[in-house]
Structure 1
């Protein structure tokens, strides 16, 4: 900066005889520099329409790109003067039975696919997906077509499928392939994280999460398997700090909840429970029995606790013993079934000691068959109470 000022001072001396001051000269120079910078930036910006108008028109007209997206892509492929390769790719996808809308969506999602080699790059990957019954992956997660076949796709798919097949529950080939598709659709990054995926599987198995629990966790919380193993260890440590033992069948559920919640979010829900005077031990006891309690929003958690403690006035100890009562919809399930239960108890048709969770758990059909159908003399009153969920229950 000092050199620039010195230069201006020198020039000002040259123009002193002409009555031009240093300050005026500086202002004029800054103005001219700004105009030069602006003109330079404008001239350096690519004239995208002029550079590749053929590709631009094709992207907008045939593949329904937005103008901004088309400009960006045509700029990246400004040297591509022929539409031969994009048209070959589009023709290939249509030959697979994909609709125009699907092909357009694939192109807009991953524009680089339009410039891939059909024979060497796309066909081998599509063949693999077809062999595994994953043909719909092409349209559901077209990013899969951007990964290396041998280095990435085969190893990752093989590992995930092996884990799903190891599930002890009986599942047909179609069910396994359906679950495989769900995993590969939910998380694109899982394709190139084979080593991390393998490390996380080994660690979770060491914590007692195996078989159906492991595959269920993969299906419901796929992104847990792509995080660094150290982060996964932190989640397990947090669950253990809340009195959940490794080896517990609830550990997988706890990790799933903790993995998608920040500490700020968890603390907010913890404070909601403290507002209702639940002790630390009671909160941890509820978490151990039903971790999904911390998966509810603060507003939902508060609303449900208020209903049970203040509206129907159950003992707080009952909610500590059966926290999964909080899993049910108050309007659609708890209120109508509670009213049926109260009628049955008042008429001594069921035991007064019947646990509240018992009539809440069955499906609607089973609840009807068990708590309404057998009591023909009281069926009208029971049905009226049960259908009151459609009425104002305030």
Structure 2
């Protein structure tokens, strides 16, 4: 494992480079200054736009004409009728000014009814559109419908479209791309890497942007996790792929340095990341506190952390430290013939832990509870 020196490890990672096309935010100026001023004034009066916001929208509205203000009034009333707040309408217009000049019956209504059919209604629909108004500028039949159909296929048994709505909110452009050359292509690529079924559903819900990422970015991410020691069709590859997609090279460098500063070898670091890829997403502050506590307070060996890196992902305040205090009382009073494994204590859920290490010792329950929670609990 000596080959995995820090520079080599750092080369696996670089800053995210996904820059989605913003179809509705091109900078245009209204052709006629009078029309631009009229539109700005209208937005300030009708929706309480600030002057700078109104000017920004009017400067990106080449569709504005002397006759278009009436259409804009009708569009705003239509959104209000659907239950959008003024703030949501404002945000929608800022994201995609051209909706002000769109035909309600031919363009807006069919798409909004489509999203309503998925379960987005009233304020929820307003919240979604206020951040993703660009979806109203793409083809319903060529983009929205087929992309949603593909996503529902991946999500499989998604009752009431709950997971689908989560995906739509997390990645506003996921239904705006070409379904065949982007979404289907990326799904096929992930399947070729062994990311299928449940793993694919999990990845879609947690990091939907990967499903519309550029092919070069996906290739790069997979190459990095393979170089870290993961293999195709490995059950852990998807977690590594997700974790790697969430961090920058700077963040990774800081975390690897932290481990090295505590005396972990390059081999130790690789083993920990392979066993728990999501360790990469734990904050540096939490990692530092956890490692320091386990090594210097509990006097654990580094091999325990390398073998059980999940310990560093648990809540130190609510789980690790309180259970350590209980272990100290158990040892001090000799309540068990053999000292329990601390990692076993950490793995138990709350109910099982209290039953096994607190409530069973009736004469010492109060002291154990105070050690665990700092006050008496009703068990």
Task: Give me the TM-score of the superposition, normalised by structure 1.
Answer: 0.78
Q: CA-to-partner distance for each residue in 1:151-189, whole Å, 9 max, x for gaps? A: 211121111111001xxxxx5522xx1111111111122
Identify the match of residue 106 of structure 1 among 92, 109, 112: 92
Counterpart in 2 of 1:356? 342
Identify the match of residue 132 of structure 1 among 118, 141, 163: 118
Identify the match of residue 157 of structure 1 among 119, 124, 148: 148
SS in 1 for 2:226: helix
Q: Please give the alpha-carbon distance, in whole angstroms, between the structure 1 residues aligned to 2:361 and 2:158.
A: 42
Of 279-288 and 80-89, more deviation after overlay is shown by 80-89
Q: Please give the alpha-carbon distance, in whole angstroms, between the structure 2 residues aligned to 1:301 and 1:321.
A: 16
Identify the match of residue 147 of structure 1 among 107, 114, 138: 138
Q: Please give the alpha-carbon distance, in whole angstroms, between the structure 1 residues aligned to 2:138 and 2:166.
A: 18
> Between Structure 1 and Structure 2, whose CA radius of gyration is higher?
1
Tell me, yes or no, if the aligned pair for 1:290 and 1:323 is still in contact at 8 Å: yes
Counterpart in 1 of 2:285? 299
Counterpart in 1 of 2:306? 320
SS in 2 for 1:273: helix
Tell me, yes or no, if the aligned pair for 1:129 and 1:137 is still in contact at 8 Å: yes
Tell me, yes or no, if the aligned pair for 2:85 and 2:126 is still in contact at 8 Å: no
Q: Please give the alpha-carbon distance, in whole angstroms, between the structure 1 residues aligned to 2:309 and 2:302.
A: 10
5 Å-filtered alignment, 1:1-394, equals 48=33, 50-75=34-59, 76=61, 79-135=65-121, 136-140=124-128, 141-165=132-156, 171=157, 173-174=159-160, 177-193=161-177, 194=179, 195-350=181-336, 352=338, 354-388=340-374
Tell me, yes or no, if the aligned pair for 1:54 and 1:81 is still in contact at 8 Å: no
Q: Which has the higher contact order (CA 8 A, sep 6+)?
A: 2
Q: CA-to-partner distance for each residue in 1:105-140, whole Å, 9 max, x for gaps? A: 323332221111100001111121122223434531
Q: CA-to-partner distance for each residue in 1:230-269, whole Å, 9 max, x for gaps? A: 3222222222222222222211111111112233332332
Tell me, yes or no, if the aligned pair for 1:106 and 1:139 is still in contact at 8 Å: no
Tell me, yes or no, if the aligned pair for 2:88 and 2:126 is still in contact at 8 Å: no
Task: Give me the TM-score of the superposition, normalised by structure 2.
Answer: 0.81
- The aligned length equals 338
Q: Please give the alpha-carbon distance, in whole angstroms, between the structure 2 residues aligned to 1:134 and 1:338.
A: 46
Of 218-227 and 98-107, more deviation after overlay is shown by 98-107
User: Superposition RMSD on alpha carbons, in Å?
Assistant: 2.5
Tell me, yes or no, if the aligned pair for 2:144 and 2:175 is still in contact at 8 Å: yes
Q: Please give the alpha-carbon distance, in whole angstroms, between the structure 2 residues aligned to 1:52 and 1:263.
A: 44
Of 320-329 and 207-216, more deviation after overlay is shown by 207-216
Tell me, yes or no, if the aligned pair for 2:323 and 2:345 is still in contact at 8 Å: yes
